[in-house]
Chains A and B, each alone.
Chain A
Amino acid sequence: MRTATDLQADIGEILLTEAQLQGRIAELGAQVSADYADRTLTLVSVLKGSLPFMADLMRSIDRPLRIDLMEVSSYGGATTESSGLVRILKDLSSSIEGEDVLIVEDIIDTGLTLNYLVRYLRGKKPASLRICTLLDKPARRLVEIDVDYIGFTIPDQFVVGYGLDYGELYRNLRFVGVLRPEVYSTVG
């Protein structure tokens, strides 16, 4: 069984410290609070990577809010070969029709998943739909999406920690770090 210490040894570089993350999330929370001053907000988090960000962001927003969770299948997963199409693994628990919705994402790179989600959620007729991401990796963008709140724009590196995984590991790290290439180069 690998320990947290072992996982940290796989990190080549700490890109964002816990203090940097928390400081920026507090700023984002203040911005969101100001922008939704007179409205009740619904935060929709996309499992699993955005869980830590969702937990910290919602506590930094000083307004009434509801939360909901979604999960979609990712390309290459077990469901890919069966249908060849993205699937909603966990849908919203309640209607967002007429609600002000803010999608909470951990990272945006290609934009493919988010593009799908935005189209899906728009079909549920929210009053407004905006996007907040902790990390933005524009170098990997395939489809352009307007993102309303960005925590950090990061370079083109494979990052883990603070919810982000590789092989379902590293999510519990308190920082965002760059995974050593030899870690994934030796897999398989």
Chain B
Amino acid sequence: MTAPTSQPDSGERPAFAHASEAEMSRILDFYGVEWRYEPTTFPILWNLDGEVVESFSPDFYLPDFDLYLEMTTLKQTLVRKKNRKLRRLRELYPDIRIKLFYARDFRAMMLKYGRLALAESLSGTPGQLVGGELTAGVMTENRVAASAAGPRPVDGGEPGASEPSPSEPAANGVVPERPGTVVMSTTGSARREPRRRRRRGRRAGATTPAQPAPRAD
């Protein structure tokens, strides 16, 4: 099994593949959270000759939290594909902590920061947000859970936190760790996804209309 490969940190601002990633980098910078962009590539599928035919490079790594962050602000068909890759990653690398950040998560974050117009402006652009699916995810649950008596830490078992299904993103993108097994391709038909076109993330908010003041959480 080929080991994950890591890119050295060049110290330069990377060329983000999507404007949403550039925006996320600015948010992390704003709050002083250290990050690296696509620092590690995880092989997730090999052919019978042992060659890597599919790999996965999560968008961000937050070293202070030992956490990978994958922005999935794509249309639903691509979300399913990414969910499948994430499931493979989880099987093969059970110790890796990774969180999916769906389109609706990005939209909710922009709403909170008074930059909803940015999220809306990304709709319909290549590899970007799709408005219809975003709206559906915001107002679905109707549960409120009072905490049990006594102080307690927050963990993944809180009400409202659930594992995302392969085809339907759940509210919480936390991927629980599970014992994994290495699975080899038996057909050789696995396709490597085309490398995303790299482009400089555009300056977010430069052309967006006025929005309500942001809310601090």
Residue interface mask A24-39, B partner, CB < 8 A = 1: 1001000100010000
In the complex, A6 has a CB within 8 A of chain B: no
Nearest chain B CB to A147's CB is how many angstroms away?
5
A84 to B138, Cβ gap below 8 A? Answer: no
Q: State the Cβ distance, A174 to closest chain B Cβ, in Å.
A: 16
Per-residue CB contact flags for chain A residues 2-41 toward chain B (1 = under 8 Å, else 0) read: 0000000000110110001000100100010001000000
- Identify the stretch in A55-63, A92-100, A108-116 within 8 Å (CB) of chain B at 4 or more residues: A108-116
B154-199 residues with Cβ-Cβ distance < 8 A to A are 154, 156, 158-161, 171-172, 174
Among B67, B120, B146, B216, contact of A74 (Cβ-Cβ < 8 Å): B216
**Within 8 Å CB of B161, what residues of A?**
138-139
A180: nearest chain-B partner, CB-CB: B139
Once A136-B154, A142-B69, A187-B212 are accepted as A-B contacts, the answer to whether A85 and B108 lie under 8 Å apart by CB is no
B176 to chain A, nearest CB (A): 14
**Contact indicator per residue, chain A 134-158, by CB within 8 Å of chain B (1) or not (0):** 0011111111111111111111111
Given A84-B30, A156-B171: A144 touches B154 (CB 8 Å cut-off): yes
Among B106-146, those with CB < 8 Å from A are 108-109, 111-117, 120, 135, 137-146
The verdict on A128 contacting chain B, using a C-beta distance below 8 Å, is no
Contact (Cβ within 8 A) B154 A150: yes
Kindly state the separation between the CA atoms of A115 and B35 in the bound complex, as whole angstroms. 15
Question: Total interface residues on B, using CB and 8 Å?
Answer: 63
Assess whether B217 is in contact with A76, with CB atoms less than 8 Å apart: no
Q: Out of A73, A115, A148, A181, which one reaches B151, CB within 8 Å?
A: A148
A151 vs B116: C-alpha distance in the bound complex, in angstroms? Answer: 28
Residue B33 interfacial (CB < 8 Å): yes
Chain B 30-75 residues near chain A, CB threshold 8 A? 30-33, 62, 64-65, 67, 69
> Inter-chain contact count A-B, CB under 8 Å?
178
Complex alpha-carbon distance, A20 and B147, angstroms: 12
| Minimum distance in angstroms from A110 CB to a CB of chain B | 6
Does A123 lie at the interface of the complex (its beta carbon under 8 Å from any beta carbon of B)?
no
Q: List 27 A-B contacts (CB under 8 A).
A: A13-B142, A74-B213, A75-B31, A76-B214, A84-B29, A109-B217, A114-B217, A139-B160, A141-B174, A149-B151, A150-B147, A150-B154, A153-B146, A154-B160, A155-B160, A156-B141, A157-B139, A157-B141, A165-B213, A165-B215, A167-B213, A184-B111, A184-B212, A185-B135, A187-B116, A188-B120, A188-B209
Q: Given A77-B213, A85-B29, list of 14 further CB < 8 A pairs?
A: A74-B213, A75-B30, A76-B114, A76-B205, A112-B27, A138-B172, A141-B172, A144-B154, A146-B154, A147-B153, A150-B154, A156-B171, A167-B212, A178-B139
**Which residues of A approach B to under 8 Å, CB–CB?**
12-13, 15-16, 20, 24, 27, 31, 35, 46, 49, 72-77, 80, 84-86, 105, 107-116, 119, 130, 136-158, 164-168, 178, 181, 184-185, 187-188
Q: A-contacting residues of B (Cβ < 8 Å)?
A: 26-33, 62, 64-65, 67, 69, 99, 101, 105, 108-109, 111-117, 120, 135, 137-147, 149-154, 156, 158-161, 171-172, 174, 205, 208-217
